[in-house]
Amino acid sequence: MSPETIGLLGMAILFVLLGLRVPVAFAMFGVGFVGNWILNSPQAAMSQLASDAFSLSSSAELVVVPLFILMGNVATETGMSRKLYDAAYATIGSIRGGLASATVVACGGFAALSGSSVASALTIGRVSLSEMDRFKYDNRLSTGVVAAGGTLGILIPPSTGFVIYALLTQESIGRLFLAGVLPGLLLLSMFIATIMLLTWFKPAYGPAGPKTSGGEKLRAMGGAAPILVVILLTIGGIYGGFFSPVEAAAVGAGLVILFGAVSRKLSFAKLWKAAKDSVVTTATVMLILIAAYMIKTFLALSHIPQMLGTYLEGLAIPVLGVLAIMLAMYLILGLFLEGFAMMVLSMPIFFPVVQQLGIDPIWFGVLVVLTLEMGLISPPVGLNVFIVKSVAPKVPLARIFWGVVPFWIAMLITLIIIVLFPQIALFLPNTMIG
């Protein structure tokens, strides 16, 4: 058999394994290892396994993953996420749909600490859903806004999605983090606009919350001050050239632990739990990355990326047309595959095409992460929808999926805007110092 035929057969086997619910990392590892064994040699496959595992595990850049995860976990254990929601609640909760808008703002703020969509949906959902239920919000809006707001976790930096993309494509983590800021804020604004439209046409969806005095607003903002300081120092430090992403992660994690200790909200038991959860999450990410490198080499040996690039060039369609095809494929794959799995499977195939066509890799990274976000709320896999279901077990799953539809449309509009206006993503990384 030709290398191309072996490559296509390997990908078919991979999708069968995923359909049989084999864990993504194990499925990719098995296909990649056997494929390398066949197309190269048993010795080369064994050597690559050892070298990739060692090089990834010893990569200084990857330290950013456990540190940012630790920062988010400590913030959750010390109740900082609750303070963030309280500040948003006090500021805009009294307007129609205000509690839902406050939930989106809190999700955005927590995303800037945790870098995880699942953590954002789970943490803010526990805080906000009971409040929206208390004020008789329609549960389609309340659950939909938590599921959608949680997706901001992999777009607003620090983002685990951007770290994985950077490692798979050898792009700058710092530039990718900065590229996610304005698109993240744009998406957050689109979510709030969606809430305003929904509650304008159907006021019963989101009644106004209680009014708060100026003093209450100030106290709530004061409670969220530590989180705002951490966000400004980490992201501002990267933009100003004062910190590398790894240094920013260390500063952020250190400050969150310090704030927790000073306020006496962080006991040794809570710190140990946060650290243990961070280790488990980091190990999962590392296992997926090692498997991704195995499949990446297999696909390179099979010449599938080159074959795809030649085929797309032969179609004689504009670069934007090729980009639209790739993004459409991501949206379709998002119906069946988990986001990170989709990224590590597709990058070895799509990224060589992106390079051939001269598409800006930073801009492409933002578009990819945004489409991954859309997959997080797309049926039938929709991971964030199932996370919200675990927090709101009495709400039917179908009702939650209906609730995310307006926000999915808002995400699609945001994706189109960023495709048409790349500078939204490229402005900050192109002006960064250092």
Model confidence pLDDT, tens digit, residues 217-242: 788 788 778 878 887 888 788 777 78
Distances (CA, A) of 173 to 26, 166, 176, 245, 423: 26, 6, 5, 7, 18
Phi first, then psi, for residue 170 (nearest 5°) are 65, 30
User: What are 261's two structure tokens?
Assistant: 């200790």
User: What are 93's two structure tokens?
Assistant: 């909760």
Domains of the chain, by residue range, sit at 60-289+303-431
Pick the closest to residue 408 from 392, 384, 425 (CA basis). Answer: 384
Residues 268, 92: Cα–Cα separation, whole Å: 35
Residues 38, 298: Cα–Cα separation, whole Å: 9
Q: Which residue blocks in 241-267 are alpha helix, DSSP H?
A: 245-262
Model confidence pLDDT, tens digit, residues 190-201: 999 999 999 998
From first to last of its 434 residues, what are the pLDDT tens digits of the chain? 788 888 888 888 887 887 777 777 788 888 888 888 888 888 888 887 778 777 777 777 778 888 888 887 888 788 777 787 778 878 777 788 888 888 898 888 887 777 777 777 877 888 788 888 888 889 999 999 999 988 888 888 888 888 889 888 889 888 999 999 999 999 999 999 999 999 998 888 888 777 777 777 788 788 778 878 887 888 788 777 788 888 888 888 898 898 888 888 888 888 899 889 888 878 877 887 788 778 778 877 887 777 776 777 677 788 888 899 889 988 887 776 767 777 877 888 888 888 888 899 999 999 999 998 898 888 877 778 888 888 888 889 889 999 999 999 999 999 999 999 999 999 999 887 54
H or E element that contains 334: none
Instruction: Report yes or no: 199 and 97 within 8 Å, Cβ to Cβ.
Output: yes
Residue position matching structure tokens 């926000």: 407
**Does pTM top 0.95 for this prediction?**
no
Kindly state the greatest CA–CA separation across the chain. Answer: 74
- CA 226 and chain centroid, separation: 23
